[in-house]
Amino acid sequence: KLPSRVKLVDVGPRDGLQNEKAQVPAEVKIGLVHRLQDAGLTEIEVTSFVSPKWVPQMADAAEVMAGIRRKPGVRYSVLTPNMKGFEAAVASRPDEIVVFGAASEAFSQKNINCSIAESIERFAPVVEAARGRGIAVRGAISCTVGCPYEGEIAPERVAMVARLMKDIGVQHVGVADTIGVGTPRKVQAAMEAALQHYDLDSVSGHFHDTYGQALGNTLASLEMGVWQYDTSTAGLGGCPYAKGATGNVATEDVVYMLHGLGIETGIDLDKLVDAGAYISDFLQRKPNSRASTAILNK
């Protein structure tokens, strides 16, 4: 039985824009957040408090957070890889912080410059500090199906990282297919691995759509009862440290599928298409979403 309601976290302002070469002004990022919340998104991943040398696009994190007109009922999350990032993020009053690790050693090294074990040691004080302040903590697990450097990743590795995150107090884990190589059964195996340590209400899916499998992977996860997903308006996204990976599955496409399945999202698809068109216009490209293209061409 499929869930009757699904919660989507739009990660467009963060995952979507972190990979853009041209600097997107804070004002445009804020405009995107406003359009997403007006479309009914209740969870928005806004930015990352990471090293500006590593990801220059996110250097304006504090400015973006400060410029948002907060809408009651909307939760704003930010990425924080270490205490330095967390301390910088606190002033921005995020509702949730995201620590991000990986099921692949090589990817962990490339993305956050440390081993999986070291990353957990770095996250532990961040998690403790956040929870002490009543800030929710999510953990992203990258490369749960495949890694750009190591190839296929076994579900046991996902279970191991989920357990390590559980041990340090991470409340929710996101199972990410960073490079979009997953297919439905493999993604289900990765989800099952995370579900060994987290309950169904505390696991979400984060699927990049490189091989066009993300909707199928979403449906396969829905069939397991997973009801929370990260998606990105206009299909923006990618990770600078995962070469060849394209954007996240488009929020528009997922919303279209969910509504067609009779699943509630609280999202107004037409307004969402406008939000995706806004950022795509700025980036001078067409939205990378089939549903959006169809609706705009009607």
The residue ranges that bind ligand HMG (CB under 6 A) are 15, 18, 48-51, 54-55, 79, 81-82, 84-85, 88, 100, 111-113, 140, 142, 176, 178, 206, 208, 239, 241
Partner that binds at residue 110, options Mg ion, ligand HMG, none, CB closer than 5 to 8 Å by kind = none
Partner that binds at residue 49, options Mg ion, ligand HMG, none, CB closer than 5 to 8 Å by kind = ligand HMG
Report, in Å, the least distance between residue 59 CB and ligand HMG. 9
Partner that binds at residue 251, options Mg ion, ligand HMG, none, CB closer than 5 to 8 Å by kind = none
Report, in Å, the least distance between residue 277 CB and ligand HMG. 23
CB closer to ligand HMG, 214 vs 272? 214
Q: Residue 83 — left, alpha, or beta (φ > 0 → left; ψ -120 to 50 → alpha)?
A: alpha
- As a whole number of angstroms, the distance between CA 14 and CA 254 comes to 18
Q: 257 burial class (0-12, 13-18, 19+ CB within 10 angstroms)?
A: middle
CB closer to ligand HMG, 37 vs 119? 119
- As a whole number of angstroms, the distance between CA 8 and CA 244 comes to 25
Partner that binds at residue 84, options Mg ion, ligand HMG, none, CB closer than 5 to 8 Å by kind = ligand HMG
Partner that binds at residue 54, options Mg ion, ligand HMG, none, CB closer than 5 to 8 Å by kind = ligand HMG
Neighbours of 203 (CB within 10 A): 24
Alpha carbon 90 to its chain's center: 20
CB closer to Mg ion, 36 vs 295? 36
Report, in Å, the least distance between residue 243 CB and ligand HMG. 13
Does residue 239 have an active-site annotation? yes
CB closer to ligand HMG, 85 vs 235? 85
CB closer to Mg ion, 214 vs 295? 214
Per-position x/- string for 15-44, each x denoting binding to Mg ion as judged by CB under 5 A, each - no binding: x-----------------------------
CB closer to Mg ion, 60 vs 230? 230
Q: What angle do CA 208, 84, 171 make, to 5 degrees?
A: 55
Residue among 236, 178, 227, 228 at smallest CA distance from 207:
178
What sign does the CA torsion over 233, 236, 238, 239 have? Answer: negative
Taking CB atoms, the residue at the shortest distance from Mg ion is 15
Catalytic position from the list 114, 143, 147, 239: 239
Partner that binds at residue 81, options Mg ion, ligand HMG, none, CB closer than 5 to 8 Å by kind = ligand HMG
Report, in Å, the least distance between residue 27 CB and ligand HMG. 22
CA dihedral of 7, 203, 252, 213, whole degrees rounded to 10: -160
Binding site for Mg ion (CB under 5 A): 15
User: Any idea which residues carry the catalytic annotation?
Assistant: 239
